[in-house]
Structure 1
Amino acid sequence: MLDHWEELAYFDISPTYSVVYHRFLEMDLSSYPAIRGQLEGPVSFGMKILDENDKPLIFNDQVRGMLMDFMARRAQAQLTHLKTRHPGAFMFIDEPGLQFVFSSMSGYTDRMAAEDMDRFFSQIDRPRGIHLCGNPDWQFLLNRYLDILSMDIYTNAEIFRCYGKDIKRFLDRGGVLAWGVVPTGFEAFDQESQDHLIAVLEGVWQTLAEAGISLEQILAQSLLGPATCCLINPDREKTVAKAYSWVKALSRQLREKYALT
């Protein structure tokens, strides 16, 4: 690996490991305002991959720094490739493992995670963001070097709305919030309505407005998305496809309601 460190393309995903990724890159993407790549983050990866002593790499002080650099190289390789296909390309780093950092039993402290994540993101071109379906310490994430924070607001609305001051600082420095409001799980989706999902969003926005964040700023620095990455359902891809169609429908409704261009 070190022999190829300066060969960025070496770290990209090969067709052997993702046929869909390469098929996506062959498509005509010019009509989209932006395209997004996604890669598992170093903390989540480091919690799953074991060293020679069956110890997760994230706890190996001799290896952890190289892990951050290696995963950053992989993310940068994907982003660079995506930017050859669309100038509006950006990356989400999928970090479900971050919700376990703040457990008293994790052994991997938030201070260690902060240093590691800052080292990781410093090596990736902007715009860059984190996608997280779980419920971490939101203050921790809102204070990292992120451009976009994508979260499952459908599940975590009541908790996330409590971080008004941190959210305001994040927005004031130009951050974008991607509100994951449409559930992709079969049972949850089947019980929902678009009107209720809009009410969930607007309820959070109202709380943030009371914390001093103008609705205009929230709307200007927001994206909509699915709540989770769930792709396993009894009906296979059908619920996920419906969820994405709802994301578009909600976007249209909110744009019309708030006269957004």
Structure 2
Amino acid sequence: MSLPFEANCLPLAPFDLPYPDEAGVWAALLRWTPQVVAWPTAADDPAWNLAAVGFPGLATNAHIDKAAFDAAIETHQLAFLRYDIERGAVPTIARLTERLPWRIGDRPSMQAVVVGLYGPLSLGLTLLDQQDRPIFANPLMHEALIQHLALRMGWLEAHLATAVVCLIEPFWNATSSPFLGYTADDVLQLVLELASTLQTSVGLAPSGAVEWTPILRSALHFVLCQPDQYAAILACGSCLNDYFERGGVVAWALVPSNPAELAATSPQQICASWDTMLKKALDQDVLNSRLLSGSVLTVAPGLRYQTAAVADQALALLAEVSRTLRQRYKLT
């Protein structure tokens, strides 16, 4: 399914914001990135929590009742077979969607909500079983975890209008290890299987060295790209062109999250680096018109470890860069 918004170099906040309360988070998002809003994780929650909450065994101690745990897993699996998405509910989101005054229908400027969830690889490597082994190494548990993710994504689709679900994979580099037992293509297939259960658009944010061609040729419509990945994705050339032509979007992490880098960076510098990237893209036969219309701009990961003042600085810089580029290239 195509994305529910026109990218055109709009600003998108990162998923990891440090604001201490809901009011601060939403005030910042609606001030700096009102068109495409990233659903953030709470400042005091681990980044993987939004994906993992509700999975059997997370709220237990070392003396967990094995029979009760097995029964909970079976209940989860049965819910998946019935596609009972209420098993994937997130109570905090349910409460917010009932009372927040930012529903898309009430705010004409808002086009979409983007939700970041840890994907099947990184969540499976983060959560441990009762023997302190990553769930990814336990085929039965990992299958249950993927089913849990499918229900979570289905519930988000049903409760957040025009949502885009972006699967975050900070441990994507693990696919290069011979000890994992999964290749990057295997993990991409898991992501695509999850995406196939939804009508909404699904994206991917892989870390480190990435072979972009299979991702760009897949059914995904949204990818998040860090500065150290720019050269590799631009080198895809015609494949990237085709991705944009099909309605795909790339989120470019143009703005730094480090306070020292932020202090030394101006909107003019970032816009100049963007212009340089456009020239490099053209050298790879990537049409600038497609790249401009198929891009959103964001902040590099790491803001959750900074202060709210630093986050405000980064988001203000992001909004200014977006405004400048949209005016320069007549994207407004």
Partner of 1:160: 233
**Structure 1 residue 25 displacement after superposition:** 5.8
Task: Kindly tell me the number of residue pairs found equivalent between the two proteins.
Answer: 250
Q: Bigger relative contact order, structure 1 or 2, given CA contacts below 8 A and separation 6+? A: 2
Q: Match for residue 100 of structure 1?
A: 174
CA distance in 2, matches of 1:112, 1:59: 14
Task: Give the CA RMSD over aligned residues.
Answer: 2.4
Equivalent position to 2:319, from 248, 254, 259: 248
- Give % identity: 21
| Deviation, structure 1 residue 64 | 3.1
Q: Distance in 2 between matches of 1:103 and 1:166?
A: 27
Judged with a 3 Å threshold, the aligned counterparts in structure 2 of structure 1 residues 252 and 133 are, in CA distance, closer, same or farther, namely farther
Map residues 104-253 of structure 1 onto 2, 5 A cutoff: 104-132=178-206, 134-153=208-227, 155-233=228-306, 236-253=307-324
Question: 1:37-52 alignment to 2 at 5 Å?
Answer: 37-52=115-130
Check if 1:34 corresponds to 2:112.
yes
**Unaligned ranges ≥5, structure 2:** 1-75
Quote how far apart the aligned CAs of 1:3 are.
4.8
The one of 80, 90, 98 aligned to 1:13: 90
Change (3 A) 1:111 1:255: closer
Using the size of structure 2 for normalisation, the TM-score is 0.68
Deviation at 1:90, TM superposition (A): 1.8
Scaled by the length of structure 1, what TM-score is found? 0.84
Unaligned runs of 5+ in 1: none
Which amino acid in the other structure matches residue 65 of structure 1?
E
Partner in structure 2 of residue 72 of structure 1: 150
Deviation of the 1:252 alpha carbon: 0.9
Indicate the structure (1 or 2) with the bigger Cα radius of gyration. 2
Residue identity opposite 1:245 in structure 2: A
CA offsets per residue over residues 87-140 of structure 1, 9 Å max, x none? x32222221122321244543222321322221221132222123454433334
For residues 14 and 120 of structure 1, the distance between their equivalents in structure 2, rounded to whole angstroms, comes to 22
State the match for 2:163 in structure 1: 89
User: How far is the alpha carbon of 1:141 from its aligned partner?
Assistant: 2.9
